[in-house]
Structure 1
Amino acid sequence: MNRHLTLKQFRYFLTVAESDSVAAASRMLNIAQSAITKSILELEDELGLVLFERSPKGMRLTPEGHRFLVKARRVIGAVADATRGVRQDVAPQGGSLTVGVTSLVAGYYLSEVFARFARTSPGVELRIVEEAPPFLEHLLINGELDIAIMVSNALEEPQALVAETLTRSPNRVWMAADHALAAQEEVSLAECADYDQVVLLADRVELLMRGPWEQVHAQHGLKPRALLRTTSLEAVRSLVGVGAGVAVLPDFLYRPWTLDAEHVAVRKLRDAVPTVDVGLVWRRGSPLRGEVQEFIEVARDQSRGHRGW
């Protein structure tokens, strides 16, 4: 068929991809499920690709779907940039901006934000500082950073800082594709505790899960063994991929393949556990210069693109 791709199809696709469900996408967009389903089918027909694996439990991206997701986000981002570029008076024409990041967030969230800011504000000198979360907070409070993008719901000094969530990432269970738990659609923390754990020590991800784990230990008398505690996400992914253990990690870090081409499966957690929120953080009471305000707007636009608008 000789159809043309539309922005509506991209937005519907992004919303379904982010929510894993046509029903959830329908609620978010306030549009009938049948209209979203029809749009996704037409998109797949036009591309000649199967973008989703359908099941009674929801919609999962296929490998082709994951690849198209990256391109769809770029398209939506480019449209947002073009719209913003019409108003030249909004974008600062000079100055500088110092942004703090953590290694984990920098590797998995920031490249598109920085690229878009560079396009919308080419006259601004952008400086990036990578540090651990506690030191980023110290630099923000001391006025040595204008703003930071980091895990924003585990701050040590929340009374001194303002945090605005950009994306809220649920935790899921990572495991090898042939792991015994992979036969289930949902997995509990108690079931995970029967297997060795691979623990990521980065960006306070472990801190957010500590309470739920301790509660499970107390309720069930379980003492899961930590096979490895590491700051290396690739080490976690590799060990999980070969079946050495399982990990509970936020969705924004998930990639389906290890460096050795082992497949990593994910399953929903049955327990209610805290999300990992990535957001903008700046010093409370600090006046926001034009460069900072522009960066905030670009980051918000990028966040809306990731949620499918």
Structure 2
Amino acid sequence: MSFTLKQARYFVGIAEYGTISRAAAELSISQSAVTEAVKDLEARLGVRLFDRRRRGVELTYHGHVFLRHAKAILTEVSNAEINLADKGATVSGTLNIGVTSLTSGYVLSDLLSRFRRAQPGIDVSAVEDTGEYLEHLLIGGELDVAVMVVSNLRNAQALHSEILAVSPYRLWLPIGHPLCSHESIALDDLTDEPQIVLDIDEMQAETDRLLSSFQVRPRIAFRTRSVEAVRSLCASGAGVALLPDLIYRPWSLEGDRIESRDVSARLPVVQVGLVWRRGATVATAAHAFLSVAQSFHAPRLR
């Protein structure tokens, strides 16, 4: 028996917000309605989509598989609505986008998929580079817009930015780790834990602030520029990691489980947003992209 679009929306809401109560609040419906919809959805699909935890819910393996399909379905429905509502508003032209490695891997594909369906007449060219170099290209007029971390713009006076979403830091740890059973985890609990640090330029300021939050210098076991290496090391028990929720996935490449937990401390956040040259005339193609991006919710960004 088929499921409904409403059930898919409720499911995606819970997956993105992490709790039924918050999803219900964001969707402006009752918790009981969300709970019943998901129970019925699981019964129709014949699989369990969520593991219930004390502090919320977590997707099961089947839940992660269905999440990809549910988002694709809802995106197609949204694109159909956009195309029918704005049938005469499609434009042509070229669009030059800049992305960093972080946004390229975890934001751009979904965003571009939505944009290309809304504006099939626009030719898109994307370049991936460091945030510093993308700022240089934006100021020089070689890029129309960039999707990047906007917390630490070096040329803020010359650039305009708009935050798309904010991603908090959470603790990654291997399944079975003693801290998995803690109802509340503090930074002091991590003092003796070997830390795996993701050492990439665009998050350098946030990483520095994170490490300075510890009262005692943390024990750093590995520094790497690879998110997949962090996942593998963490899942294998080589250490724990504090990283933005944006890049969290519950499985390593080897298929090992990675748990994620909140930490009761003032941790930095990663702000992902749009950046373009201040005072520049926004071309029609760029304006169309900004319109689509401003209504876009990247996966796992809160």
CA–CA separation in structure 2 for the residues paired with 1:141 and 1:193: 43
4+ residue segments displaced more than 3 Å: 304-308
Paired letter, 2:180: A
CA–CA separation in structure 1 for the residues paired with 2:232 and 2:190: 18
Matched, 1:299 2:289: no
Map of 2:257 onto structure 1 = 263
Question: What's the CA shift for 1:188?
Answer: 1.9
Q: TM-score, normalised by structure 1?
A: 0.91
Q: Measured at CA, do residues 171 and 130 of structure 1 come closer, stay the same or move farther in structure 2, by a change above 3 Å?
A: same
Give CA-to-partner distance per residue, 1:131-190, whole Å, 9 cap, x none.
Answer: 011111111122111001111223222232222222221111111112232222432222
Map of 2:272 onto structure 1 = 278
Map of 1:173 onto structure 2 = 171
Question: What's the CA shift for 1:55?
Answer: 2.6
Question: What's the CA shift for 1:23?
Answer: 1.0
CA–CA separation in structure 2 for the residues paired with 1:306 and 1:267: 14
Quick check: 2:148–2:274 contact (8 Å CA) kept in 1? yes
Q: Give the 3-state SS of the residue equivalent to 1:175 in structure 2.
A: strand
Q: Give the 3-state SS of the residue equivalent to 2:262 in structure 1.
A: strand
Map of 2:14 onto structure 1 = 16
Q: Give the 3-state SS of the residue equivalent to 1:158 in structure 2.
A: coil
Question: What's the CA shift for 1:296?
Answer: 1.7
Paired letter, 1:90: A
Quick check: 1:174–1:266 contact (8 Å CA) kept in 2? yes
Paired letter, 1:181: L
Matched, 1:98 2:64: no
Q: Give the 3-state SS of the residue equivalent to 1:187 in structure 2.
A: coil
Matched, 1:40 2:38: yes
Question: What's the CA shift for 1:73?
Answer: 1.0
Map of 1:243 onto structure 2 = 237
Specify every segment of 5 or more residues in structure 1 that has no aligned partner in the other structure, as ranges. none
Give CA-to-partner distance per residue, 1:252-307, whole Å, 9 cap, x none.
Answer: 11111111222211111111222212221111222221111211222233317877
CA–CA separation in structure 1 for the residues paired with 2:109 and 2:287: 19
Map of 1:163 onto structure 2 = 161
Paired letter, 1:239: L
Aligned length: 301
Give the one of 140, 143, 148 matched to 2:141: 143
Quick check: 2:166–2:301 contact (8 Å CA) kept in 1? no
Question: What's the CA shift for 1:203?
Answer: 4.9
CA–CA separation in structure 1 for the residues paired with 2:154 and 2:186: 29
Map of 1:233 onto structure 2 = 227
Q: Measured at CA, do residues 84 and 304 of structure 1 come closer, stay the same or move farther in structure 2, by a change above 3 Å?
A: farther
Q: TM-score, normalised by structure 2?
A: 0.93
Quick check: 1:177–1:263 contact (8 Å CA) kept in 2? yes
Quick check: 1:165–1:277 contact (8 Å CA) kept in 2? yes
Quick check: 2:246–2:299 contact (8 Å CA) kept in 1? no
Paired letter, 1:7: L
Q: Give the 3-state SS of the residue equivalent to 2:157 in structure 1.
A: helix
Moved more, 279-288 or 125-134: 279-288
Quick check: 1:152–1:278 contact (8 Å CA) kept in 2? yes
Give CA-to-partner distance per residue, 1:43-100, whole Å, 9 cap, x none.
Answer: 11111121111133111111111111111111111111111111222221x2110000
Quick check: 2:130–2:202 contact (8 Å CA) kept in 1? no
Give CA-to-partner distance per residue, 1:207-245, whole Å, 9 cap, x none.
Answer: 21422431323xxxx121222222111111111111111
Residue pairs, 1:68-79, within 5 angstroms? 68-79=66-77
Specify every segment of 5 or more residues in structure 2 that has no aligned partner in the other structure, as ranges. none
Q: Measured at CA, do residues 307 and 191 of structure 1 come closer, stay the same or move farther in structure 2, by a change above 3 Å?
A: closer
**What percentage of residue pairs aligned between the two structures are identical?**
40
CA–CA separation in structure 2 for the residues paired with 1:56 and 1:234: 28
